[in-house]
């Protein structure tokens, strides 16, 4: 399959990568129908993320159609359309039971690496270094999604890809920021770095100047009235 692959600092190419396979009973394989590029991908692109290897497939904001289902998967069948959150969560550890998906104890096979660097590890992540599991990402034709009954959100036919793709990371990230503030009806809020976050450098500069870049009404409106998936709590990147 074709995939967006990391080849080194400021060197990302569309190359042929191995097709994903079902490796564990709770896996599904998706045919990717949409994927976004995140501001966090720029950290990788800029060479700031350790334990990236040549040939790693990028992409942690994606959606697609289920084409293969592992034997232990109960909630998804072939043909389902799903959006996939970037955090991989087992659904059964202490943290998952508290809906703290990004802290999942069991989804990162390389947790020891993150522990050596940070003292602790978070959950596994798609396309975001070996320290976070080395899972091939979704900027590809196909992608393997582990623990598929936990993360993926089924999408009804009435919604288009463009309407739901950002539930994978961008929307819940903003939502969580609003939730953490915490924003209440009537508040005036200033939001830095909206419009899909631009580059990390740009954001930092704006923060440093302490200047309000934009005021995003839709975000505060979402925080007041909107409903959001449980993945909102796990947004970290």
Partner 1 sequence: MSSAGVWIGDANIERSTVGFKDIERWISAATAAALLTYSLRHRSLVGLAAAAAATPLAFRGLAGRWPRSFADETETRRALGGDRGIHVRESVRIEKPLAEVYRFWRQFGNLPLFMLNLERVTELDEKRSHWVANGPAGIHVEWDAEIINEVENKVIGWRSLPESDVVTAGSVNFDAVRQGSETQISVHLQYAPPAGKLGAAVATIVGREPSQTIREDLRRLKQLLEAGEIPRTTSSFEAVSRQ
Contact footprint for partner 1 (CB under 8 A):
18, 20-21, 23-26, 53, 56, 72, 88, 90-95, 97, 105-113, 120, 124, 130, 133-136, 144, 146-147
- Minimum distance, C-beta of residue 86 to partner 1, in the bound complex (Å): 15
Shortest CB 155 distance to partner 1, Å: 25
Instruction: Give residues with Cβ within 8 angstroms of 74, minimum separation 6.
Output: 149
Least distance to partner 1, CB of residue 13, Å: 18
CB of residue 149 to partner 1, shortest distance in Å: 11
Give min distance, CB of 224 to partner 1, in A.
32
DSSP characters over 33-79: EEEE--HHHHHHHTT-STT--TTPBP-SEEEEEEEEE-TT--S--TT
DSSP 91-160: S-SHHHHTT-GGG-SSS-TTHHHHHHHHSS---EEBTS-GGGT-B--SSBSEEEESSTTTS-EE--TTS-
Q: Which is nearer to partner 1, 126 or 166 (CB)?
A: 126
126 vs 192 by CB, closer to partner 1:
126
Reported as half-sphere exposure (CB side, CA atoms, 13 A), residue 201 has a value of 4
State which residue, 76 or 155, has the beta carbon closest to partner 1: 76
Q: 26 or 81: whose CB is closer to partner 1?
A: 26
- State the sign of the Cα–Cα–Cα–Cα dihedral 47, 52, 56, 62: negative
Q: Which of residues 72 and 212 has its CB atom nearest to partner 1 in the complex?
A: 72
Name which of 105 and 179 has its Cβ closer to partner 1: 105
Handedness of CA 16, 70, 150, 132 (dihedral sign): negative
Nearest distance from C-beta of residue 72 to partner 1, angstroms = 7
109-114, long-range: CB within 8 Å, 24+ apart, which pairs? 109/133, 109/134, 110/51, 110/134, 113/51
């Amino acid at each position: 399959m074709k995939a967006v692959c990391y080849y080194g600092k400021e060197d990302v190419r569309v190359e042929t990568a191995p097709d994903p396979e079902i490796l564990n009973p709770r896996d599904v394989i998706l045919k990717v129908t949409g994927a976004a590029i995140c501001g966090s991908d720029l950290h990788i692109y800029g060479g700031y993320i350790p334990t990236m290897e040549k040939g790693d497939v990028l992409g942690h904001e994606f959606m697609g159609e289920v084409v293969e289902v592992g034997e232990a998967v109960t909630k998804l069948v072939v043909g389902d359309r799903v959006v996939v959150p970037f955090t991989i969560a087992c659904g059964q550890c202490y943290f998952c039971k508290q809906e703290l998906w990004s802290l999942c104890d069991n989804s990162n096979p390389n947790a020891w690496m993150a522990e050596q660097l940070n003292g602790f590890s978070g959950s596994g992540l798609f396309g975001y270094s070996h320290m976070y599991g080395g899972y091939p990402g979704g900027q590809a034709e196909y992608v393997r999604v582990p623990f598929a009954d936990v993360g993926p959100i089924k999408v009804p036919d009435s919604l288009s890809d463009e309407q739901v793709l950002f539930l994978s990371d961008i929307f819940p990230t903003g939502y969580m920021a609003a939730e953490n503030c915490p924003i209440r009806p009537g508040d005036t809020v200033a939001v830095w770095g909206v419009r899909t976050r631009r580059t990390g450098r740009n954001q930092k500069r704006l923060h440093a100047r302490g200047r309000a870049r934009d005021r995003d009404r839709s975000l505060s409106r979402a925080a007041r009235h909107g409903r959001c998936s449980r993945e909102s709590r796990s947004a970290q990147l």
